[in-house]
């Protein structure tokens, strides 16, 4: 039911300006979907809807523009081969050791890759912290990243 409601919300905000949660709830009710303001509020949050400028200085709900991947798999692989020296993990945290000054570009590549298991990265100068969810996905992510090296790289402890 929720996924159908989300699709309907997408259709509504695509065809008409919706400025408030109440307007969205009314539009859903006009489509025979009974919702509360609290449900609409949760849907907006879950869908990541944003408010964008509209005609007349008003704001309306819209879906955020999808980021296109800036890095193809080949480019990401080259980025890793050229800049990543090794990796290690603890629990759901993966650390990538990079050449000095390379951590930001490696983190940006991972961020744009849109891997569902990676919920975010933090880059320093020569280290990238990769946060993975769920914890049990860490070995699979490490193996996937290891393919970029041409072989599964040694962990930092093994080097």
| CA–CA gap between residue 116 and residue 96 (Å, rounded) | 18
Same domain? For 152 and 98 the reply is: yes
Kindly indicate the confidence band of residue 74, based on its pLDDT and cuts at 50, 70 and 90.
confident
* Largest Cα span, the chain: 64
CATH code: domain of residue 102: 3.30.1360.40
Antiparallel, parallel or unpaired: β 127-132 and 118-123:
antiparallel
* pLDDT for the residue 20: 95
Length, in residues, of the chain: 159
pLDDT of 83 > 60? The answer is yes
| CA–CA gap between residue 83 and residue 105 (Å, rounded) | 9
Q: Among 62, 95, 111, identify where a domain stops.
A: 62
Considering the domain boundaries, does residue 101 fall inside one? yes
Same domain? For 42 and 6 the reply is: yes
Q: How far is CA 25 from CA 7, 11, 19, 59, 154, in A?
A: 14, 13, 11, 17, 54
Same domain? For 93 and 38 the reply is: no
CATH code: domain of residue 24: 1.10.10.10
Q: Which domain holds residue 119?
A: 73-158
Same domain? For 107 and 144 the reply is: yes
Considering the domain boundaries, does residue 53 fall inside one? yes
| CA–CA gap between residue 27 and residue 130 (Å, rounded) | 41
Kindly indicate the confidence band of residue 152, based on its pLDDT and cuts at 50, 70 and 90.
very low
Place of tokens 């020569």: 126
Same domain? For 34 and 80 the reply is: no
Number of domains in the chain: 2
pLDDT tens string 118-131:
999 999 999 999 99
């Amino acid at each position: 039911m929720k996924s159908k409601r989300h699709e309907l919300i997408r259709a509504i905000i695509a065809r008409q300006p919706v400025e408030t949660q109440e307007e969205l709830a009314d539009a859903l009710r006009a489509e025979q979907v009974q919702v509360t303001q609290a449900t609409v509020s949760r849907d907006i949050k879950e869908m990541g809807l944003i408010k964008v400028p509209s005609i007349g200085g008003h704001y309306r709900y819209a879906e955020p523009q999808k980021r296109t991947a800036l890095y193809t798999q080949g480019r990401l692989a080259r980025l890793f081969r050229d800049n990543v020296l090794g990796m290690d993990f603890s629990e759901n945290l993966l650390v990538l050791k990079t050449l000095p000054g390379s951590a930001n570009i490696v983190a940006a590549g991972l961020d744009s890759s849109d891997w569902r298991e990676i919920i975010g990265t933090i880059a320093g100068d020569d280290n990238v912290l990769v946060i993975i969810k769920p914890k049990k996905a860490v070995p699979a992510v490490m193996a996937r990243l290891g393919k970029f090296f041409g072989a599964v790289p040694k962990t930092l402890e093994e080097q």
